[in-house]
Chains A and B, each alone.
Chain A
Amino acid sequence: MPDRANKVEITCTVNGETHSFKAYPMARLLDVLRQELRLTGTKEGCGEGECGACSVWIDGEIANSCLVPVLQVAGSEIKTIEGIATGEQLHAVQEAFISCGGAQCGICTPGMVMAAVNLLERTPRPSETEIRMGLAGNLCRCTGYMKIFEAVVRACQATGVKV
Chain B
Amino acid sequence: MKKHLIGRPVPRKEGRAKVTGQARYVDDLVFPGILYGATVRSRVARGRIKGISFGEGIPWHEFTIVTAKDIPGENYVALIAHDQPYLADGVVNHSEEPVVLLAHPEKYLLEEARRAVQLEIEPLRPTFTIEDSLSKKEIIWGEDNVFKSYSVEKGNVDEVWARADFIVEGEYRTGAQEQLYIETNGMIAVAIPEKGVTVWGSMQCPYYVHKALMALFGLPADKVRVIQSETGGGFGGKEEYPSMIAGHAALLAWKSGKPVKIIYDRAEDMAATTKRHPSRTRHRTAVSKDGKLLGMEIDFVIDGGAYTTLSPVVLSRGTIHAPGPYSCPNVRIRSRAVATNAPPHGAFRGFGAPQSIFALERHLNRVARAIGLTPEEFRQRNFIQPGQTTATGQVIRENVNMNHLLERALALSDYHAKTARFARENSGQRRKKGMGFASFMHGAGFTGSGEQYLASVVELEATPQGRVRVLAASTEIGQGTNTIFSQIAADALGLDYDSIEILKPDTASVPNSGPTVASRTCMVVGKLVEAAALGLKQTLVGSGFLQEGYTPAGFERACKRYIESHGPLKSSSQYQPPPGIHWDDATYYGDAYGTYAWAVYVAEVTVDTVTFETEVNDFVAVQEVGKVIHPVLAAGQIEGGVAQAIGYALYENVVWNEGRMLNSQMTNYIMPTAVDVPPIRVFFEELPYSYGPAGAKGLGELPMDGAAPAIVNAIENATGVSIHHIPVMPESLMEALAVTEKAVERA
Asked whether any CB of chain A lies closer than 8 Å to the CB of B639, the reply is yes
Asked whether any CB of chain A lies closer than 8 Å to the CB of B265, the reply is yes
Q: Identify 19 new A-B residue pairs, CB closer than 8 A, beyond the known A81-B21, A139-B182.
A: A45-B266, A46-B266, A46-B666, A82-B21, A98-B12, A100-B632, A104-B479, A104-B640, A106-B14, A106-B478, A107-B233, A113-B19, A133-B675, A140-B182, A141-B671, A142-B640, A143-B639, A144-B680, A147-B636
Mask, B658-690, CB within 8 Å of A = 1, is 000000011100011111010110000000000
Q: Are A105 and B478 in touch, CB under 8 angstroms?
A: yes
Asked whether any CB of chain B lies closer than 8 Å to the CB of A42, the reply is yes
Q: Are B665 and A147 in touch, CB under 8 angstroms?
A: no
Expressed in whole angstroms, the Cα–Cα distance for A113 and B21 within the complex equals 10
Expressed in whole angstroms, the Cα–Cα distance for A110 and B28 within the complex equals 14
Residues in B with CB closer than 8 Å to A81 are: 20-21
Which residues from 51 to 106 on chain A have a C-beta closer than 8 Å to any C-beta of chain B?
51, 53, 80-82, 84-85, 90, 94, 97-101, 103-106
Q: Are B674 and A43 in touch, CB under 8 angstroms?
A: no
Asked whether any CB of chain B lies closer than 8 Å to the CB of A14, the reply is no
Q: Known contacts being A101-B633, A104-B640, A141-B235, is A136 close to B12, with CB within 8 Å?
A: no
Residues in A with CB closer than 8 Å to B108 are: 1-2
Partner of A107, one of B25, B266, B644, B667: B25
Q: B16, B232, B632 — which one has the most chain A CB atoms within 10 A of its CB?
A: B232
Which residues from 414 to 467 on chain B have a C-beta closer than 8 Å to any C-beta of chain A?
none
Q: Are A51 and B20 in touch, CB under 8 angstroms?
A: no
Expressed in whole angstroms, the Cα–Cα distance for A47 and B25 within the complex equals 17
Residues in B with CB closer than 8 Å to A34 are: 27-28
Q: Are A105 and B182 in touch, CB under 8 angstroms?
A: yes
Q: Are A48 and B182 in touch, CB under 8 angstroms?
A: no
Asked whether any CB of chain B lies closer than 8 Å to the CB of A5, the reply is no
Chain A: residues with Cβ within 8 Å of the partner, total of 55
Q: Are B19 and A135 in touch, CB under 8 angstroms?
A: no
Residues in B with CB closer than 8 Å to A47 are: 265-266
Which residues from 98 to 123 on chain A have a C-beta closer than 8 Å to any C-beta of chain B?
98-101, 103-110, 113
Q: Known contacts being A40-B28, A80-B21, is A105 close to B183, with CB within 8 Å?
A: yes
Expressed in whole angstroms, the Cα–Cα distance for A2 and B666 within the complex equals 27
The closest CB in chain A to the CB of B703 belongs to A144
The closest CB in chain B to the CB of A147 belongs to B636
Secondary structure of the A side of the interface? loop
Residues in B with CB closer than 8 Å to A45 are: 182-184, 266, 666
The closest CB in chain A to the CB of B179 belongs to A141
The closest CB in chain A to the CB of B17 belongs to A106
Expressed in whole angstroms, the Cα–Cα distance for A120 and B641 within the complex equals 28
Q: Are A48 and B12 in touch, CB under 8 angstroms?
A: no
Expressed in whole angstroms, the Cα–Cα distance for A136 and B676 within the complex equals 9
Give 10 closest A-B pairs by Cβ, nearest first: A41-B21, A107-B232, A105-B478, A106-B18, A144-B643, A144-B639, A104-B478, A81-B21, A50-B666, A40-B28
Q: A40, A141, A147 — which one has the most chain B CB atoms within 10 A of its CB?
A: A141
Residues in A with CB closer than 8 Å to B391 are: none
Residues in B with CB closer than 8 Å to A46 are: 266, 665-666
Q: 6 interchain pairs (CB within 8 A)?
A: A43-B232, A45-B184, A104-B636, A105-B181, A105-B233, A146-B636
| CB of B259 to closest CB in A, whole Å | 16
Q: B12, B231, B641 — which one has the most chain A CB atoms within 10 A of its CB?
A: B12
